A = this chain, B = another copy of it.
Amino acid sequence: MDTTDLTALRSRIDAIDARLIELLAERFRATDAVGRLKAGAGLAAVDAAREAQQARRYRALAAQHALSSTLVDQVFRLVIDEVVRNHRALADAARPDSAPT
């Protein structure tokens, strides 16, 4: 085996992983901004219509790039579940205290 090739490929994979993590961070900054907008307007953390539209788009993009659509679904399920948890926390923080009167 050409270990130079293996080393070069692994460096490329590491660079891709660093970029994936940067993009995930950028995505959470954008979804946190969405969460603050929603919390300010009293909107629900989950938007089923938006999620369904995203799921269709992920399937189309997975097919276009010859990726497993199961894998793409699972990755975004993890990400979106975390987004919903963050949005709920933002909504809870925005809600006025409901102490008994």
A interface list, Cβ under 8 A from B: 1-2, 5-6, 9-10, 12-14, 16-28, 30-31, 33-34, 37-38, 40-41, 43, 50, 54, 57-58, 61-62, 65-68, 71-72, 74-76, 78-79, 82
Q: Is there contact, CB below 8 Å, between B16 and A58? A: no
Instruction: List 4 A-B pairs, minimum CB-CB distance, nearest first.
Output: A1-B41, A25-B65, A21-B61, A16-B27
Copies in the complex: 2
Residues of B with C-beta under 8 A to A24: 20, 65, 67, 71-72, 75
Residues of B with C-beta under 8 A to A74: 78
Least CB distance, A50 to chain B, in whole angstroms: 7
Q: Is there contact, CB below 8 Å, between A10 and B72? A: no
Can you report 28 residue pairs joining A to B where beta carbons are below 8 Å apart? Answer: A1-B40, A1-B41, A2-B37, A5-B33, A5-B37, A9-B30, A10-B34, A10-B50, A12-B30, A13-B27, A13-B30, A13-B34, A14-B57, A16-B23, A16-B26, A17-B54, A17-B57, A20-B75, A21-B61, A21-B65, A21-B67, A23-B23, A24-B67, A24-B72, A25-B65, A71-B78, A71-B82, A75-B79
